[in-house]
Structure 1
C-alpha cells in the first residue's frame, strides 16, 4: 500500500520553514502531495505558476534524498477535498509555536469531522527555522531587507527581482 501525505499552504514565497516540513514529511510517506491553495479573495505576491515552479525547484533534492515522490498541485476547494482526490491518508501541518498549535488543532478538528479517514500529523519546526513565517519574509523583502537566512538562494533571487527598483 502506498502511503500518501498532503501538505497544503499558500507558499508565497516558499521558505526554509516550508522545506523543513517537506523534508521531514517525505521521510514518512511514499508520495507527498504539496497543495498550493488558490483563492480568488487573496492576492499573492507570486503567481500560482511561480509558486509551483519554486516548489518544484526546492523539492527536487528532497525527493531524491528521501526516495518519496513529491508532486505539486493547486486547488481552489477545501484542503480535505484536494487531499481526498489525491488519495492522501495523512495531512502534514507544520508547527512553529503555541499560536500555530492552537490554530492547527482547530483545523485538525474540522478536517477530522469532514474527512475522518485522513489523519493529521503535526511536524514541529526545526529550531533553526522556527521563527520563519512567509508573511514576515514578504514584509522584510518588500522593505529591502536581507531575507537570505529565511529562503533558499533561488527564492531570494526571485524576491530581489520582484522588488528591484522599488
Structure 2
C-alpha cells in the first residue's frame, strides 16, 4: 500500500527549511504531495504558477530529488479535502521554533475536527535551517543580501528577477 503525505504551504519561496522537511518525509512515506496554497487572502510575492515552477526547479533541477516520489500541486481548498483527493490521512507540517507550535497545534486540531482520520505529523528541519523563513529570505534579497545559505540556485534566480 502506498503511504501518501500532504505537505501544504505557501512556499513563497521554498527554502532549505522546507526542503529538509521534504527530504525527511521521503524516508517515511512513499509519496509526498507538496501542496502550494493559492488562497486569495494572502499577499504572495509569486503567483501560484510561479511558485509551483520554483518548487519544481528547486526539487528536481537543483536537488535532483525523485520525481516519482514527489508531486507538486496547487490548491485552494481545505487541506483535509486535499487529503481526500490524494487518498492520504497524513498532513506534514514543519516546525522551526517553539513560537510556531501554538499556531500549528491549533491548525492540527482544526484539521482533526474536520476529519478525525487525518493525523498531522510535525517535522523539524535541521538546526542550521530552523531560523530560515520565506519572509526573511524575501527581505534579504530585496536589500541585495546573500541568500545562498537559505535556498537553491534556481530559487535565488527567480527572486532576483522578481526584484529587478
TM norm. shorter chain > 0.5: yes
Q: Contact 1:26/1:63 (CA < 8 Å) preserved in 2?
A: no
Aligned to 1:35, the other structure's residue is in SS state strand
8 Å CA contact retained: 1:39, 1:76 = yes
Structure 2 gaps, min length 5: none
Cα deviation 1:3-42 (Å, max 9, x = unaligned): 0000000000111111111111111111110111101222
After alignment, is 142-151 or 123-132 more displaced?
Answer: 142-151
- TM-score (structure 1 length as normaliser): 0.91
Indicate the residue corresponding to 2:41 in structure 1.
Answer: 41
Is 2:19 the partner of 1:19?
A: yes
Matched, 1:109 2:109: yes
What's the CA shift for 1:63? Answer: 2.1
**Alpha-carbon RMSD:** 1.3
Matching residue of 1:130: 130
Distance 1:107 1:90 in 2: 13
Name 1:140's counterpart in structure 2: 140
Structure-2 residue corresponding to 1:99: 99
Compute the displacement of 1:62 (Å).
2.5
1:63 aligns with 2:101: no
Which deviates further from its counterpart, 1-10 or 50-59?
A: 50-59
Q: How many correspondences in the alignment?
A: 161
1:63 partner SS: coil
2:133 and 2:97 map into 1 onto residues whose CA distance is: 11
Asked if the contact 1:144/1:163 (under 8 Å) is kept, the reply is no
Q: Which residue of 1 aligns with 2:82?
A: 82
Deviation at 1:95, TM superposition (A): 0.5
Quick check: 1:33–1:70 contact (8 Å CA) kept in 2? yes
